Structure 1
Amino acid sequence: MCDERQLADMARSPGAMNRRSFAALGGAAVLAGCTSAGEPAQAGDGVPGASGVLRSEVAIATPAGTADATFYRPAQGAHPAIIMWPDIAGVRPASQQMAQRLAAAGYAVLHPNPYYRSVKGQQFADFASFMGEEGFAKVGPWREKNTPEAVMADSKAFVAWLDAQDAVDTSRGIGANGHCMTGSWTFYAAAAAPERVKAAASMHGGGLVTDAPNSPHRIMQAGAMYLVCISQDDDAKQPDAKDALQTAAEAAGAKAEITVYPADHGWTVLDSPKYAEMEAERAWARMLEAFGGL
């Protein structure tokens, strides 16, 4: 997960994406004209097939209350399901665009609010707003509620909800995708519902290797696929993590692809100051490959 030093570095980045440049990507169009009735999502630049995707705002009962989420899926047929969590800045147009794009690739995508225990809906317009509004401090109390046990309970509830949807092909496995602080959540999802969650894709995820008994690398599941995309600066901070993950995967009988990318933390997120298109597309392609085996 990004820390305050990395946020300060992001703020100084000459390539920092502002609201105007993100809008040029079509991010604002993702939210236009969408209702809870499941109307077609609006096509935005860089979202091939978006016109064939439906979007609904949904509420899901969990042991902690009611989680608000967005459900994207192709307009026709049943498809493998994906739980796609946003990064530390939460649900916003950039993360919605990414979820919509994944649905356009042929998946039923649940995009939950990671902070539903504390607040509902969008809290920041974009990553620039997160940084400019002291977002790191603001989300701190919300983030503390997302213990490994809480994330696993949520994952079970999300899996049960997805399996009850006509748009989900329950004969196929479920995937999980997370960015930044939610990269580790993909491991918790696979551990919470190992009979259903068969692929976990962590994009610059933090806290994957710790000394805790329930460290993500200690709960890898036999037969599951783990795609771990590590940023070069995160690797520099914890160079032994990639080897520990590989060793843990082999011991658990899990499949793993663990790669350090020549890009900095946040490079896969559209509105991140560290967004690096070429390497983001490379990671995206590897994620589609991993989810293709569901």
Structure 2
Amino acid sequence: MCDDHSIEDNNRLLGDVSRRGFGVLTGMAGLAMMLPAPADALTIAGRDVSIATPDGHADAYFVAPSSGRHPGVLVWPDIMGLRPAFRQMADRLAQSGYAVLVVNQFYRSTKAPFLAPGESFDQPDVRAKIMPFTKALSPDGTTRDAIAFIGFLDAQPQVDRARGLGTTGYCMGGPMVFRTAAAVPGRIRAGATFHGGGLVTDAADSPHLLIPRMKAKYLIAIAANDDARAPTDKDTLRTSFAAAKLPAEIEVYAGTMHGWCPPDSRVYDAQAADRAWGRMLALFGPALA
């Protein structure tokens, strides 16, 4: 979710899941399970960075293989922000040969990480802390940020500018992927969303309406309970991508719940998350070559 419409979707989901008695959304920040390293993992080096944007300075984490030049990838985290789990995911992607930037999308309001170990979005006091951060976000702000973040990636010596860039997003990061791809279509050649919230809305600025402005290939990995809540969204996305003549793999991952991909999630599904990760690598390989 990057705009108010998506945030409302996330809140509705929270209520739906709570009524069903499931563990909800992401949680246990800082207690992420160890992700497996890829075969033939490259040696990597990461560092904390500060990126100038039109609205201030965004804190972020940049990691890349220790030698050579590689395709860049911009990662938009879920509503619990940049934290150890996303650093671990960035490291894993870098080990596969990518220069990865994970950003704190809430930099206008707070530095990351902003949650203590064990805190989760399903806790009322945590929601009360995070929701004001979302008020500083807007579609236009995300577009400005995306342009600045892509500029940062392209300025890094580890990034091969002759190759395309990718972008991924989780939960609220899903719409941010769409806005990034539409803002910098000449650079973004692949986008992937995982349990993205608010990709399709009735609003005039719905992310799916940006698809005709994109020039990339996509992976849209949908949680089963998200699909149950909005079963026509996937059809709208398929129709929109087809009309734009853009390849898009759109799949509902059976048995998964919203938030199943980050390894610190209370609903983490290791098998499904690993399959979605594999599909992302399969997308990035040829698209960013």
- Report the TM range for the smaller structure's normalisation: 0.7 to 0.9
- SS of residue in 2 equivalent to 1:191: helix
Is residue 167 of structure 2 the alignment partner of residue 176 of structure 1? Answer: yes
User: Quick check: 154-163 or 1-10, which moved more?
Assistant: 1-10
Matches within 5 A, 1:244-263: 244-262=236-254, 263=256
- Give the superposition deviation at 1:252: 1.5
Unaligned 5+ segments in structure 1 are 27-44
User: Quick check: 46-55 or 119-128, which moved more?
Assistant: 46-55
Distance 1:144 1:240 in 2: 28
Question: How many residues were matched structurally?
Answer: 273
Query: What is the TM-score normalised by the length of structure 2?
Result: 0.87
Matches within 5 A, 1:252-291: 252-262=244-254, 263-291=256-284
- SS of residue in 2 equivalent to 1:55: strand
Residue type at the aligned position of 1:159 = I
Distance 1:11 1:129 in 2: 16
CA separation of 1:178 and 1:6: change in aligned 2, threshold 3 A: farther
- SS of residue in 2 equivalent to 1:171: coil
- Give the superposition deviation at 1:184: 1.1
CA contact (8 A) 1:83 1:109 kept: yes
Structure of greater relative contact order (alpha carbons < 8 Å, 6+ residues apart):
2
CA separation of 1:7 and 1:238: change in aligned 2, threshold 3 A: closer
- Give the superposition deviation at 1:250: 1.2
Runs of 4+ in 1 over 6 A off after TM superposition: none
CA contact (8 A) 1:58 1:71 kept: yes
Residue type at the aligned position of 2:180 = A
Identical residues among aligned pairs (%): 44
- 1:233: which partner in 2? 225
Residue type at the aligned position of 1:234 = D
- Give the superposition deviation at 1:6: 5.2
- 1:62: which partner in 2? 53
- 1:47: which partner in 2? 37
Distance 2:19 2:203 in 1: 29
- Give the superposition deviation at 1:127: 6.1
CA separation of 1:13 and 1:211: change in aligned 2, threshold 3 A: closer
- 1:33: which partner in 2? none
Is residue 195 of structure 2 the alignment partner of residue 204 of structure 1? Answer: yes
Is residue 216 of structure 2 the alignment partner of residue 224 of structure 1? Answer: yes
CA separation of 1:249 and 1:17: change in aligned 2, threshold 3 A: closer
CA separation of 1:151 and 1:19: change in aligned 2, threshold 3 A: closer
CA separation of 1:236 and 1:165: change in aligned 2, threshold 3 A: same
Matches within 5 A, 1:1-294: 2-3=10-11, 4-5=14-15, 8=18, 12-13=22-23, 22=31, 25-26=33-34, 46-48=36-38, 52-126=43-117, 128-132=119-123, 134-220=125-211, 221-262=213-254, 263-292=256-285, 293-294=287-288
Unaligned 5+ segments in structure 2 are 2-9
Query: What is the TM-score normalised by the length of structure 1?
Result: 0.86
Distance 1:135 1:17 in 2: 10
Cα deviation per residue 1:27-73 (whole Å; 9 max; x = unaligned)?
Answer: xxxxxxxxxxxxxxxxxx62347771101111111011101101010
CA separation of 1:107 and 1:11: change in aligned 2, threshold 3 A: farther
Distance 2:271 2:192 in 1: 18
- Give the superposition deviation at 1:137: 2.2
CA separation of 1:97 and 1:6: change in aligned 2, threshold 3 A: farther
CA separation of 1:5 and 1:195: change in aligned 2, threshold 3 A: same
User: Quick check: 175-184 or 124-133, which moved more?
Assistant: 124-133
